[in-house]
Amino acid sequence: MSIRLPRGTQDILPGDVEKWQLIEKKAREICEKFQYHEIRTPIFEQTDLFLRSVGDTTDIVQKEMYTFDDRGGRSLTLRPEGTASTVRSFVEHKMFGYANQPVKLYYMGPMFRYERPQAGRYRQFVQFGVEAIGSDDPAIDAEVIALAMSLYKEMGLKKLKLVVNSLGDKDSRQAHREALINHFQPRIGEFCSDCQNRLEKNPMRILDCKQDRDHELMKFAPSIIDYLNEESKVYFNKVQQYLTSLGIEFEVDSNLVRGLDYYNHTAFEIMSDAEGFGAITTLCGGGRYNGLTEEIGGPEAPGIGFALSIERFIAALDAEKVELPLNNGIDCYIVSLGEDAKDYTVGLLNKLRQAGFSAERDYLDRKIKAQFKAADRLQAKFVAILGDDELKANKINLKSMDSGEQKEMELASFIEEFTALYRN
Ligand code: ATP
Ligand code: MG
């Protein structure tokens, strides 16, 4: 049997990878503008990090982690998400001591979850995420949301829906928790075994259950909004006020709870309502996680962030049929005729490249017609034609593929002449 790629993974080939690169570039540009700085953490971490931060009642920890023992008997896990590692690093490197606060970080890289593969759901996927740690100003919540929205909009997405909610502070959540337990307890036997386990440990997670989402008790479950204390309400109102002043439209959805345990106050999701996007519409999720740094052994430092996957980003771009500025074409293709000319193009090609142009030549000893075809396939803007006769006369022909115009140039000054013509 031939070897294939592992289930739930994909090869991203030339032709597709350009889309990825565009998104990655745009993400970096926006982070620069918003002053978020890249952090790169290991692909695997001690398993305990995720148990403590993501939480042991979540789908991720219960079902989705790639956990293994290394040869030294340590339990390691391929990272399923980026916040835990970022906060671990924040604590480990004492970033709470940095002069610049809050510390604003971003990451981009592969995450691993053992999920049932389907459209928009992979076992290895790439997340871009940001974290702002060290401030509980609601303006930073709005900034983080604005950053994600800018990225989607600047890439050309229009059919976006931003949904926000507040999960409240500790006290609000405690009151809500009791209400949820009272609500679900009498009929918890009708729910999946996960929900039964969650009832005491983390009943809010029941609201996010994918299996029991249509159970009638879900429809009128106690809403966190009704349990927010004064402080949490004020905070949530401020976030909404700032979003409005940023011109960002949103809906409040009191049923929005996030998949991970560590969230409080602001929670948000950005979805695509493009037609034909399919069942999974969430592009991006994030929220506030005051208390996570302490969970990981650091001092108190309130944080907020989001994560989005490039896979779903691209699916949304495809669903909206956004035309991306791809396939620019190369600057110059060198066609040669004759042995001496062919030898000469080795150096000439290199000079073009050194002068900053994308350039290519033939490596298959093709006939002149086939070389022109290759130039077409590469969408060459110019074709330089060098035959043995021209070489002897120290000349070269340059053809503009746009206008069809052809021009003879001195071989010795070809790079300068080409540069001047190209810049025109
Ligand atoms: P879902 O409810 O779809 O499983 P989640 O709550 O597990 O999402 P998060 O952990 O919040 O997702 O991750 C943030 C974002 O990462 C999601 O909004 C989605 O865009 C993306 N994402 C999550 N899991 C996958 C996956 N298996 N494949 C591709 N993208 C993913
Ligand atoms: Mg998930």
Which domains does the chain carry?
17-169+229-319 (3.30.930.10), 332-423 (3.40.50.800)
CA–CA separation, 395 and 407 (whole Å): 10
Query: How many whole angstroms from 127 Cα to the centroid of ligand 2?
Result: 13
Q: Is 67 annotated as a binding residue?
A: no
- Provide the pLDDT for residue 1: 75
Q: Would the pTM of this model clear 0.85, i.e. be above it?
A: yes
What distance in Å separates the CA atoms of residue 308 and residue 127, rounded to the nearest whole number?
5
Rounded to an integer, what distance in angstroms lies between the CA atom of residue 389 and that of residue 404?
22
User: Of ligand 1's atoms, which has the minimum distance to the CA of residue 121?
Assistant: 28
Q: What is the pLDDT of residue 217?
A: 92
Strands 160-166 and 303-309 turn out to be unpaired
pLDDT computed for residue 327 by the predictor: 77
Q: What is the distance between the alpha carbons of residues 23 and 13, in angstroms, rounded to a whole number? A: 16
Note the Cα 208 to chain centre separation in Å.
23
CB 359 within 8 A of CB 352: yes
Cα–Cα distance, 360 to 363 (Å, whole number): 9
Q: Rounded to the nearest whole angstrom, what is the distance from the C-alpha of residue 282 to the centroid of ligand 1?
A: 8
276 Cβ contact partners less than 8 Å away, ≥ 6 residues apart: 319
Q: Is 387 within any annotated ligand binding site?
A: no
Res 261: pLDDT: 65
CA distances from 260 to 124, 196, 287 (A): 19, 18, 10
Ligand 1: residue whose CA is nearest its atom 21? 309
Pocket test for ligand 1, best of 121, 160, 204, 266 (most atoms within 8 A of CB): 121
**Nearest ligand to residue 285 Cα:** 1
pLDDT value at residue 231: 95
154 carries a ligand binding annotation:
no
127 is known to lie in a ligand binding site: yes
Rounded distance from Cα 342 to ligand 1 centre (Å)? 52
Residue 282 CA, closest ligand 1 atom number: 18
Residues with CB under 6 A from ligand 1: 81, 113, 115, 120-122, 125, 127, 259, 280, 282-285, 307-309, 311-312
Q: Which residue's CA is minimally distant from atom 7 of ligand 1? A: 259
Nearest to 302 by CA among 288, 320, 316: 288
Among candidate residues 260, 219, 233, the one with its CA nearest the CA of residue 172: 233
Nearest CA to ligand 1 atom 26: 121
Query: Any known ligand binding at 41?
Result: no
The whole-number pLDDT of residue 345 equals 97
Ligand 1 centroid – CA 308 distance (Å): 7
Residue pair 145/160 in contact by the 8 Å Cβ criterion = no
pLDDT in tens, the chain (424 residues): 799 999 999 999 999 999 999 999 999 999 999 999 999 999 999 999 999 998 887 889 989 999 999 999 999 999 999 999 999 999 999 999 999 999 999 999 999 999 999 989 999 999 999 999 999 999 999 999 999 999 999 999 999 999 999 999 989 988 999 999 999 999 999 999 989 988 988 888 898 888 898 999 998 899 999 999 999 999 999 999 999 999 999 999 988 887 666 788 999 999 999 987 877 689 999 999 998 999 999 999 999 999 999 999 999 999 999 999 887 899 999 999 999 999 999 999 999 999 999 999 999 999 999 999 999 999 999 999 999 999 999 999 999 999 999 999 999 999 999 999 998 8
Which ligand neighbours the alpha carbon of 113 most closely? 1
- Please tell me whether 81 is known to bind a ligand: yes
